[in-house]
Structures are given as structure tokens and as C-alpha cells.
Amino acid sequence: MLAFTPFASTLGGALIGASASLLLAFHGRIAGISGIFGGVILPKRGDTEWRVWFLAGLVVTGVAWRIFSAASFGAPVAQSLSLAVIAGLLVGVGTQLGNGCTSGHGVCGISRGSKRSITATTIFMGAAALTVFVVRHVLGAS
């Protein structure tokens, strides 16, 4: 899975766009995973059911996919548990403070031309690229 994969990635992206479109057209909702996830683990009355069904579809498909095509899932690169915990905390805190992640800002927000989403996407891509640069080329891991 480490080769250049423009066709598979475009097809996968198109499916993500189709999913976001279904949710918006039928429910008027934005397919932002961090927001949907937050609304499930800390439910608000009357606004939880659709989130639970969406996450259920996501997780069930992931588990089934794993059975038939394990090669789609790479091993975690943050192998140490402490690094995984730090990264998880940063992703949880950052996406909630910034009101979105790769899907909510990067796909849905940019499609709307949202100034906030364009700014957020630029910043998190930049911060992520800088992090990978430091980890790989300054600290020299992997």
C-alpha cells in the first residue's frame, strides 16, 4: 500500500464525498467524524441517534473490511504506548478545540468555501507536515 495510488485514492475520496452528500442531502448534517464522535460519547438529548447509526456503520464496515482485506490496514507507526496516548490526546483535544478534523474541515468545510475550514486545514496540514519532518529528518526515526 505504499506505492503511489492516485486511482484508488480518488475512488476512496469519491466515496467519502458521496457519504457526506447523503448525510447533508437527507439529514442536513455535516459528516465531520470528530464532531459525530464527540456527540456520541457525550450525547445531547435529541441529537444522538443519527450519530450512533453513522458510527455503527463506520465501525462495522471497518471490522468486516479487516476480515476480508487486512492489507488495507497498516500497522500503527507510533508503536510505543506512551507515544500513541500522546498522539490520541492531541487529536482529541485539537479536533474539539478546532471544531473539526480532516473530514469536517478538510472535505465538508472546504466544499462550502468556509474560511474557518480552509484556515484550519492549512494549519493542521502544516503542523502535521512539520511534525513528520521533525520526527523523520531531525530526530531520525524511520
Partner 1 sequence: MRRAIPFLAGVIFAAGLCISGMTDPMKVQNFLDFFGRWDPSLAFVMGGAIAIHLGVVIWAKRAEKPLISDRFVWPDLVDVDARLVVGAAIFGVGWGLSGYCPGPALVSIGAASRPLVAFLIAMAAGTIGVRWSVEADSEPRHFSPQGSRRNTQ
- Binding to partner 1 (CB under 8 A): which residues in 29-88? 29-31, 33-34, 37-38, 41-42, 44-47, 49-51, 53-67, 69-70, 72-81, 83-88
Binding string, residues 99-138; x marks residues near partner 1 by CB under 8 A: x-xxx-xxxxxxxx-xxx--xxx-xxxxxxxxxxx-xxx-
How many Cα atoms within 13 Å fall on the side-chain side of residue 55? 15
DSSP 8-state code for residue 137:
I
- Write out the H or E segment, with its range, that includes residue 32: none
Residue 9 is a binding residue for partner 1 (CB under 8 A)? yes
The distance of closest approach from Cβ of residue 26 to partner 1 in the complex, given in angstroms and rounded to an integer, is: 5
Instruction: Name the nearest CA neighbour of 78 among 142, 4, 12.
Output: 142
Compute the least distance from the CB of residue 129 to partner 1, in Å: 5
Residue tagged 476480515 (cell numbers): 67
Of 60, 55, 25, nearest to 39 (Cα)?
55
Count, residues near partner 1 per rule CB under 8 A: 119
CB of 137 to partner 1, least distance (A): 6
Contact call for residues 107 and 16 (beta carbons, < 8 A): yes
